[in-house]
Amino acid sequence: MGRHLLTRLWHGLIVVFGVTAIVFVVTRMVGDPVAMMLPLEATAEQRAAFEHELGFDRPIAVQFGDFLAEAVRLDFGDSLWQRRPAMEIVLEKLPATLELTLLGVGLAIVLAIPIGILAALRPGRALDQSTVAFSLAGLSIPQFWLGLLLIYVFAVRLQWLPTSGSGTPAHVLLPMITMALPALARLVMTVRSAMIDELNQQYVKTARAKGLPLARVVGVHALRNALVPVLTLAGWEAIRALAGYSVVVETVFAWPGLGLATMQAIERHDLILLQAVVFTVAVLVVLTNIALDAVYQRVDPRMKLA
């Protein structure tokens, strides 16, 4: 197990390095950050002088060498448009995105498991059909539009909650629900189909036949087996949100997270900030995957490595 973990970490390190290097090269190949920073009317000479001050006129290999030397100390340099350390910005924004992701995906899991099980108990009946219909609706509604709709109903009409922003628990409710809904829709479908599969297995019939209560059969034996695909999907939802999909919710609700900062970094061609973001997200994705592996092994002993 220990050796396996080391191997995984080593592979993860290669992934992080590879992604960071690719982003470094690509961001310097496409577009010129200086042209975007200065007013359009600045002259070519003024742009060249500015490029020199920022050091972007040096050969790309030299820039990459300097970058690596600093990056091993987790120093990615100063963000071009905020003029302060890029890592400071990332670490400032990350908690908000983690909060939104954990609450949103957490809410989705907590709701998806009971709803999915209830639907699976009597496939094809009214409850099951309405669950499927709800899931399809949840998958079809654009998150953007859903967010604005929730704002309109709960903040503008009813005035129960603030329209946007952060800082109090009241601020988190609508973004959390908006974040959760598409994930909930996907998870419910997965729980449902996994449970239907499990409930048709021989061991379930045996357990029932020897007199185990339904709740125990479903809630302990079948659910444990059905959890593997659910965990896979939940992990994917979390990674997806961290890797950038949270930007939709963050934009609509002015939620000060990493997704919004990344979007702005791309728009403004802030290479330095972008590198810090990509590095951090790559690390998070690798760690999430490793954590997920560990959970798999707890849930399903067949996955244990010799």
Partner 1 sequence: MTLRQIVRAAVGAVLLAALGHAAQAQQITIALGSEPTTLDPQVREDGSERAVNDNIYETLMARTREGALVPGLAAEAPKLVDPTTWQVKLRPGIKFHDGTPLDAAAVVYSVQRIIDPKLKSEQASFFSTITGASKVDALTVRITTNGPDPIMAARLYWLKIMSPAHGASKQVGAVPMGSGPYKFVGWNRGRDITLEANPDYWGDKPKIRKVAYRFVSEPGTRLAGLMAGEFDLITNLLPEFAGRVPKAAHVQGLEHPIVILNADGGITRDPRVRKALNLAVDKQALAEGLFEGRARVSTGQLLSPSHFGFNDKLKGYAYDPAQAKKLLAEAGAAGKKIQLVGTSGRWLKDREVIEAVAAYWEAAGMKVEVKIYEFGEYLNRLFDRNTRADAIFVVNSNEMMDADRSLSAYYKPGGVGASNKDARLGQLIDAARTEVDPAKRKAMYNEAVQLAYDNAYFVWLLNIEDVYGLSKRLEWTPRVDAKILVREMSVK
d(CA 173, CA 163): 11
Tell me the per-residue interface mask from 268 to 287 with partner 1, x by CB under 8 A, - otherwise: -x------------------
d(CA 172, CA 255): 9
d(CA 22, CA 17): 9
> Per rule CB under 8 A, is residue 93 in the interface with partner 1?
yes
Sole window of 11-19, 61-69, 75-83, 225-233 interacting with partner 1 (rule: CB under 8 A): 75-83
> Per rule CB under 8 A, is residue 7 in the interface with partner 1?
no
Member of 2, 40, 210, 306 binding partner 1 (CB under 8 A): 40
Q: Is 77 left (phi over 0), alpha (psi -120 to 50) or beta?
A: left
Member of 23, 121, 132, 155 binding partner 1 (CB under 8 A): 155
d(CA 101, CA 23): 24
Q: Which amino acid is at 34?
A: V
Sole window of 122-130, 162-170, 183-191, 198-206 interacting with partner 1 (rule: CB under 8 A): 162-170
Member of 16, 94, 172, 231 binding partner 1 (CB under 8 A): 172
d(CA 51, CA 80): 12
d(CA 134, CA 94): 32
Structure tokens at 132: 């499927």
> Per rule CB under 8 A, is residue 56 in the interface with partner 1?
no
Residues that bind partner 1 (CB under 8 A): 30-32, 35-44, 46, 49-50, 53-54, 81-84, 92-93, 96, 99, 103, 106, 148, 151-152, 155-156, 159-173, 251-254, 256-257, 260, 264, 267, 269
